[in-house]
Structure 1
């Protein structure tokens, strides 16, 4: 905008005080300088308006650029938020799997602890059984040693009787393996004196057991029970031979 001063051609020689002091105040207007001044004033206004428009356009462009930048930032932020949401969902899924794995592991550990406790209990029970078994074995060995000593004493004392059995009754004893004896009888069947009647006696346990009898002897279980009750060994041998003879007669009767 152009400022009008006293030296401007449009108002040259203009003195407001003197004009007002005159009895008939008049103002001399000079059209050309006035028009020139108005044109300059209009040009100044146009320049100001143009400059204002440029400033508005610049500010609008800057504002549009800021809006674009803000939009880009907003979009980047929304994308970042979306990525974080996806990561959060994935993390939650991982945590859920870890929770499930943890529960399964805890369940497995609990089961293993129960199994370990059961095994420890079984081990304790087995230790007790082993101790009991060792005690029984020790007692069994003592009993067997005592029984063998008794048998040896009886064998020595009954050596003449044994020789008589062996010759007259066809009796013999042989060892099959440790604590297992094979007993044989002949001279039982009068039609076949050399026919062998036999049985195997197992001495390895606390109670004696007959594992084989040829021919099968129905009275054998009862005779073995009596032997285990009385420990009368040679009486048992006599009863077995008598039972073989009795069943032979029954089969031929």
Structure 2
């Protein structure tokens, strides 16, 4: 069963509704209670309140300090976290840039590798072609050497035969030269022939006349001549030779021209000697 509320000693006594003013006796009792210190002794309560206030203040200050410390630590951690995030963002951006550079480098290297592979294939193909050509050239060189050796042997054989024939024809050649007064000799310069004549001067049959002709090209040229002929006559004889290609006819006409020049000089010398004798 519920207990009825107990009135506080501090409560002001109230009279029931509808009653009149308190009596003098009641008022004296109230005043007596006020003079009694035991009734209004709040020192324990005040002390408890002060203790509570001190402890509560200490608690709140400690709580506030802890909260501030936690907040400072949180702010520091948050700042550190932000710095870490910023660092990570920069590292990510740097990594992206590095990755982009890496991909570009890989692309360039792939392109270079493809180009080098293509160049290598071309060089290998060229090498194979050159190797094949070298083998062909070596075969041709070997064949040419064989042909040259055969030609050399043939020329040596021909040279020996010619030498043998010259030895056989030597006496006849000397006899022919002595009878005709004409000999043909090679010069130190290649592709030049020297024609030497004697029996041209009735006063001195040993006097020699000669001319040297260059046969190195299709256009013949006279390189030396003795005695000298008239330039127009010499030019006409060469022109006829180069146009008709009749070398034997040219040799005969040159001998006749030299013979006429020697005879002319002989007669002039004789006339000069006669005039001097007078």
TM-based fold match above 0.5: yes
User: Structure 1 residues 185 and 53, CA, compared in 2 at 3 Å: closer, same or farther?
Assistant: same
Q: Which residue pairs with 1:72 in the alignment? A: 83
Map 1:1-253 → 2, pairs under 5 A: 26-29=7-10, 31=40, 32=42, 35-36=45-46, 37=48, 40-41=51-52, 44-99=55-110, 101-103=112-114, 105-106=116-117, 109-110=120-121, 112-174=123-185, 176=187, 182=193, 184-186=195-197, 194-198=208-212, 214=222, 217-218=241-242, 240-245=247-252
C-alpha contact (below 8 Å) 1:183/1:200 kept by paired residues:
no
Q: TM-score, normalised by structure 1?
A: 0.57
User: Structure 1 residues 84 and 25, CA, compared in 2 at 3 Å: closer, same or farther?
Assistant: closer
Q: How many residues are paired up?
A: 206
User: Structure 1 residues 219 and 181, CA, compared in 2 at 3 Å: closer, same or farther?
Assistant: same
Task: List runs of 5+ in structure 1 lacking aligned partners.
Answer: 1-19, 203-208, 224-239
Per-residue CA distance 1:89-146 (angstroms, 9 max, x = gap): 4444544554455455445544544553444344223323322321222222222123
Q: Which residue pairs with 1:13 in the alignment? A: none
Task: List runs of 5+ in structure 2 lacking aligned partners.
Answer: 11-38, 202-206, 223-236, 261-278
Q: CA deviation at 1:245?
A: 1.7
C-alpha contact (below 8 Å) 2:185/2:194 kept by paired residues:
yes
**Corresponding residue SS for 1:196:** strand
Matches of 2:82 and 2:63 in 1, distance apart?
A: 27
**Corresponding residue SS for 2:242:** coil
Q: CA deviation at 1:47?
A: 4.3
User: Structure 1 residues 50 and 152, CA, compared in 2 at 3 Å: closer, same or farther?
Assistant: closer
C-alpha contact (below 8 Å) 1:171/1:183 kept by paired residues:
no
C-alpha contact (below 8 Å) 2:184/2:196 kept by paired residues:
no
**Corresponding residue SS for 1:28:** coil
C-alpha contact (below 8 Å) 1:189/1:245 kept by paired residues:
no
Matches of 1:35 and 1:210 in 2, distance apart?
A: 153
Q: CA deviation at 1:40?
A: 4.9
Per-residue CA distance 1:26-55 (angstroms, 9 max, x = gap): 443455258525555555544444443333
What is the root-mean-square deviation in Å for CA atoms of aligned residues? 4.6
> Which one has more relative contact order, counting CA pairs under 8 Å at least 6 apart?
1
